[in-house]
């Protein structure tokens, strides 16, 4: 392992170049205009993996209905490095699509040009979520190939291009392939989340689920002049804002009746898991860039992030949002919001409660406009245990690379495929993050510190050595 660790340190710049090439492909899955780039990213990965002597194949997932337009779904990229029956097989999952990013959103530099700043932060969309970690696994293979070293395990890659847009088609694929392509898998490792703070690595054993909603209000046949029609018609945007404002309180309390009914009670044992975490309120302030916290204590803040549901309002499609003072009455507007779900909420029940509540609130307005509200995608929460040998192996790897014991964390974000792998393969799934809590994933100026990328590559490799030695 030492040879490997040293090689990674010495070849940092080669690995940064690999990340530069990946970030340059704007593989935004949520924007149809960028769909060809998502395919380009898949092709780039295929070539890169082939150059590392992996056996690579792609699987077509069919079509996506994008608001009435049929789009090709990006392929699953499958790759295998080694098929030695004497070795364990570790499945690594990652995604090669990214969240949207525009310079005018407030980025300081072009989002798809990797820039290293004076603090050695590698800035660019996808650097942390999730291109850096995906390339981290490839760097591990690369280093072994260059050194002429055997990998301690067989590695299987499963890379998707729709994670940021609901992972369409992936669940069915995983269950279909559980006894086929994935039949030899001994354990799963996913590097697609973040440290709690900025200084200490962590292993993550829980995620919230997510249920995403679109609420459309339409009335006039076309956008109208507010001077001519204002005050004479029911306005879609007014109706939408009225109903949206009923969803959540300023202190984050969700106002949909029944939503908290199945939230698991906090046990004494669970309370203890919040005792010794290395996270300070200042780190939250720094990550947010402001002191707008609802709760004053770390305990309450983390409980609200990890084990309580939350509702976020994301945006309105169809409304006027450009500079200037356009006096328009938008004809059709769609409000977008999501609920992060937790044990023991059921996505189907959540959806039924939300839809009924919105319809009831709209009904109360007495508007002649039309409302359509529905859940566009959902993914369940996931909760595991950090006691499993797969986690013990990862903890040892953290100690080797970082000389500290990792924090054991849950996370507020969602990676629905985690539960699918666990259920379909009946194997342990470990979340082993590379980036820091302040990386700004999904936000502007997303970054991955060079040290996280390089030590993270070492960590992923060290984990493979440790897991090869342990009985799973």
Ligand X SMILES: NCC(=O)N[C@@H](Cc1c[nH]cn1)C(=O)O
What does the binding site for ligand X look like in residue numbers (CB under 6 A)? Answer: 129-130, 164, 166, 192-193, 210, 212, 413-415
Intra-chain end-to-end CA distance of the chain, in Å: 20
Specify whether the CB–CB gap between 328 and 224 falls below 8 A. yes
| 173 touches, from Zn ion, ligand X, none (C-beta below 5 to 8 Å by class) | none
CB atoms within 10 A of CB 221: 8
- In the bound complex, what is the minimum distance in angstroms from residue 382's beta carbon to ligand X? 12
Q: Which of 382, 449, 26 is nearest to 207 (CA)?
A: 382
By CB under 5 A, which span of 80-88, 187-195, 197-205, 355-363 interacts with Zn ion? 187-195
The number of CA neighbours under 13 Å toward the Cβ of 18 is: 26
- In the bound complex, what is the minimum distance in angstroms from residue 169's beta carbon to ligand X? 14
User: Known catalytic residue: 163?
Assistant: yes
- In the bound complex, what is the minimum distance in angstroms from residue 164's beta carbon to Zn ion? 5
User: Known catalytic residue: 97?
Assistant: yes
Tokens of 289: 């860039």
- In the bound complex, what is the minimum distance in angstroms from residue 240's beta carbon to ligand X? 21
By CB under 5 A, which span of 107-115, 126-134, 178-186, 337-345 interacts with Zn ion? 126-134
- Residue 131 or 218: which CB sits closer to ligand X? 131
- Binding-site size for Zn ion (CB under 5 A) equals 3
Strands (E) in 238-317, as ranges, are 310-317
Q: How far apart are CA 169 and CA 59, in angstroms?
A: 11
| 252 touches, from Zn ion, ligand X, none (C-beta below 5 to 8 Å by class) | none
Q: How far apart are CA 458 and CA 15, in angstroms?
A: 12
| 211 touches, from Zn ion, ligand X, none (C-beta below 5 to 8 Å by class) | none
Residue from 37, 130, 235, 283 that binds Zn ion (CB under 5 A)? 130
- In the bound complex, what is the minimum distance in angstroms from residue 456's beta carbon to ligand X? 15
- Residue 37 or 129: which CB sits closer to Zn ion? 129
| 166 touches, from Zn ion, ligand X, none (C-beta below 5 to 8 Å by class) | ligand X
- Residue 4 or 337: which CB sits closer to ligand X? 337
- In the bound complex, what is the minimum distance in angstroms from residue 413's beta carbon to Zn ion? 7
Number of helical H runs and strand E runs in the chain: 14, 20
> Radius of gyration of the chain from Cα atoms?
23
Is 438 near Zn ion (CB under 5 A)? no
SS3 of residue 123 by DSSP: strand
- Residue 154 or 443: which CB sits closer to Zn ion? 443
| 414 touches, from ligand X, Zn ion, none (C-beta below 5 to 8 Å by class) | ligand X
> What distance lies between CA 335 and its chain's CA centroid?
22
| 186 touches, from ligand X, Zn ion, none (C-beta below 5 to 8 Å by class) | none
Lookup result for tokens 């301690």: 152
- In the bound complex, what is the minimum distance in angstroms from residue 220's beta carbon to ligand X? 31
- In the bound complex, what is the minimum distance in angstroms from residue 128's beta carbon to Zn ion? 9
Among the options 97, 164, 186, 407, which is catalytic?
97
By CB under 5 A, which span of 5-13, 52-60, 127-135, 236-244 interacts with Zn ion? 127-135
| 135 touches, from ligand X, Zn ion, none (C-beta below 5 to 8 Å by class) | none
Element (H, E) at 204: strand 202-207
- In the bound complex, what is the minimum distance in angstroms from residue 438's beta carbon to ligand X? 15
Write down the H helix ranges in 289-405.
Answer: 298-306, 347-365, 389-402
Among the options 130, 163, 186, 449, which is catalytic?
163
Residue from 48, 142, 186, 192 that binds Zn ion (CB under 5 A)? 192
Q: Is the peptide bond before 130 cis (omega within 30 degrees of 0)?
A: yes
Specify whether the CB–CB gap between 370 and 210 falls below 8 A. no
- Residue 193 or 400: which CB sits closer to ligand X? 193
SS3 of residue 227 by DSSP: helix
- Residue 192 or 438: which CB sits closer to ligand X? 192
Q: How far apart are CA 346 and CA 348, in angstroms?
A: 6
- What residues have CB less than 8 Å from 110, skipping those under 6 apart? 103
- Residue 181 or 421: which CB sits closer to ligand X? 421
Is 129 near Zn ion (CB under 5 A)? yes
CB atoms within 10 A of CB 60: 12
Q: Which of 117, 99, 97, 118 is nearest to 109 (CA)?
A: 117
Question: Facing residues of 160 across strands?
Answer: 95
Long-range contacts, stretch 57-62, CB < 8 angstroms, 24+ apart: 59/173, 61/162, 61/168, 61/169, 61/170, 61/173, 62/169
Write down the H helix ranges in 289-346.
Answer: 298-306
- Residue 331 or 345: which CB sits closer to ligand X? 345
| 239 touches, from ligand X, Zn ion, none (C-beta below 5 to 8 Å by class) | none
| 342 touches, from Zn ion, ligand X, none (C-beta below 5 to 8 Å by class) | none
- Residue 154 or 443: which CB sits closer to ligand X? 443
By CB under 5 A, which span of 31-39, 191-199, 215-223, 296-304 interacts with Zn ion? 191-199
Q: Where in the sequence numbering do the catalytic residues fall? A: 97, 163
Q: What does the binding site for Zn ion look like in residue numbers (CB under 5 A)?
A: 129-130, 192
């Amino acid at each position: 392992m030492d040879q490997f660790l040293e090689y990674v340190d010495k070849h940092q710049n080669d690995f940064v170049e690999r990340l530069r090439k990946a970030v340059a492909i704007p593989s935004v899955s949520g924007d149809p205009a960028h769909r060809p780039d998502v395919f380009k990213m898949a092709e780039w990965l295929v070539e890169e993996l082939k150059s590392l002597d992996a056996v690579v194949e792609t699987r077509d997932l069919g079509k996506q209905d994008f608001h009435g337009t049929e789009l090709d779904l990006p392929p699953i990229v499958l790759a295998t490095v080694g098929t030695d029956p004497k070795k364990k097989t570790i499945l690594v999952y990652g995604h090669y699509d990214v969240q949207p990013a525009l310079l005018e959103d407030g980025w300081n530099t072009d989002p798809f040009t990797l820039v290293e700043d004076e603090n050695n932060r590698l800035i660019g969309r996808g650097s942390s979520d999730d291109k850096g970690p995906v390339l981290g696994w490839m760097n591990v293979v690369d280093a072994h190939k260059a050194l002429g070293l055997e990998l301690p395990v067989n590695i299987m890659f499963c890379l998707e291009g729709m994670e940021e847009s609901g992972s369409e088609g992936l669940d069915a694929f995983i269950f279909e392939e559980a006894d086929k392509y994935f039949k030899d898998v001994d354990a799963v490792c996913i590097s697609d989340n973040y440290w709690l703070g900025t200084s200490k690595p962590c292993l993550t054993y829980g995620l919230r689920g997510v249920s995403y909603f679109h609420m459309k209000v339409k009335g006039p046949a076309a956008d109208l002049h507010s001077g001519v029609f204002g005050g004479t018609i029911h306005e879609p945007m007014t109706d939408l804002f009225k109903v949206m404002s009923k969803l959540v309180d300023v202190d984050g309390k969700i106002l949909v009746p029944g939503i908290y009914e199945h939230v698991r009670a906090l046990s004494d044992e669970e309370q203890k898991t919040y005792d010794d975490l290395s996270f300070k309120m200042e780190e939250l302030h720094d990550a947010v860039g402001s002191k707008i916290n609802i709760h004053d204590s770390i305990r309450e803040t983390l409980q609200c992030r990890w084990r309580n549901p939350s509702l976020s309002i994301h945006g309105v499609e169809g409304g006027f949002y450009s500079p200037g003072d356009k006096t328009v009455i938008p004809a059709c507007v769609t409000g977008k919001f999501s609920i992060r779900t937790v044990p023991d909420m059921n996505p189907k029940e959540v959806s039924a409660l939300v839809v009924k509540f919105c319809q009831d609130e709209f009904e109360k307005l007495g508007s002649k406009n039309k409302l359509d509200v529905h859940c566009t995608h959902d993914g369940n929460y996931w909760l595991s245990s950090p006691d499993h040998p797969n986690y013990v192996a990862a903890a040892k790897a953290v100690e080797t690379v970082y000389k500290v014991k990792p924090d054991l964390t849950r996370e507020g974000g969602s990676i629905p495929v985690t539960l699918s792998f666990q259920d379909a393969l009946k194997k342990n799934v470990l979340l082993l993050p590379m980036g820091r809590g302040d990386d700004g994933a999904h936000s502007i100026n997303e970054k991955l510190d060079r040290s996280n990328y390089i030590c993270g590559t070492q960590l992923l490799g060290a984990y493979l050595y440790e897991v090869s030695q342990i009985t799973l």
